[in-house]
Amino acid sequence: MNRNHSKSLLDEMQREKLARIEAKGESICFWGLLAAILIQLMLGPDFRQIIGELAVFAVLSGYMAAACVRQGIWTRSIAPTLKNNAIGSAAAAAAIGVIAAIRAFAIRKLPFSWDRALEILITVAVVYALCFVVLEIVRRLYQSKRNALDDVDEETESK
């Protein structure tokens, strides 16, 4: 049984415009969902109340990362380097640290203690390490795929 999609009623220019619209919609969804998660974390609900949003965000992020790596794409403007991964990981860890501090001291009105500050610093360190490891794994997968694609391109050109 042939399960081809129905014939497209769009010409090439309309398909390109639709792809741009879909990409913008995906960006709005991604960044809006991230903002909703961060705002909810700041407002203080416990983890169980935002598990749905986190699950959707994780699936979307995982799909985007896998699809980009499979196609040999990193980003438009950031090179896949160890230094950039370290900077990105530091930014993510700093954001988590700020959220944790605001949540503890400003929202929950917990008194300052060195134990609580140490707990936040440990969280920041763990987030940095996990983010860095994940980015490095993805970077190496990307580089492997990019090298394979470049080899195919060179073989095609030489024929």
The pLDDT tens digits of the residues spanning 21-80 come to: 999 999 999 999 999 988 888 776 677 888 889 999 999 999 988 998 888 888 888 899
Higher pLDDT, 92 or 8: 92
| 143 in the same domain as 103 | yes
Please report whether residue 1 resides in a domain.
no
Please report whether residue 157 resides in a domain.
no
| 82 in the same domain as 63 | no
| 106 in the same domain as 51 | no
Is it the case that residue 3 has pLDDT exceeding 80? no
| 121 in the same domain as 93 | yes
Please report whether residue 158 resides in a domain.
no
pLDDT band at 1 (very low <50, low <70, confident <90, very high): very low
- Residue 12's pLDDT is 87
Please report whether residue 6 resides in a domain.
no
Q: What is the pLDDT of residues 141-150, one digit of tens each?
A: 999 998 888 8
Q: Provide the 10 A C-beta neighbour count for residue 147.
A: 11
Please report whether residue 44 resides in a domain.
yes
| 79 in the same domain as 23 | no
Q: Which two tokens stand for residue 20?
A: 């741009």
CB 86 within 8 A of CB 63: no
Q: What is the pLDDT of residues 76-128, one digit of tens each?
A: 888 999 999 999 999 999 999 998 998 888 888 889 999 999 999 999 999 99
- Residue 143's pLDDT is 93
Question: 26: domain range?
Answer: 11-71
Residue 53's nearest CA partner among 30, 80, 75, 71 is 30
| 108 in the same domain as 66 | no
| 31 in the same domain as 54 | yes
Q: Which two tokens stand for residue 12?
A: 């090439």
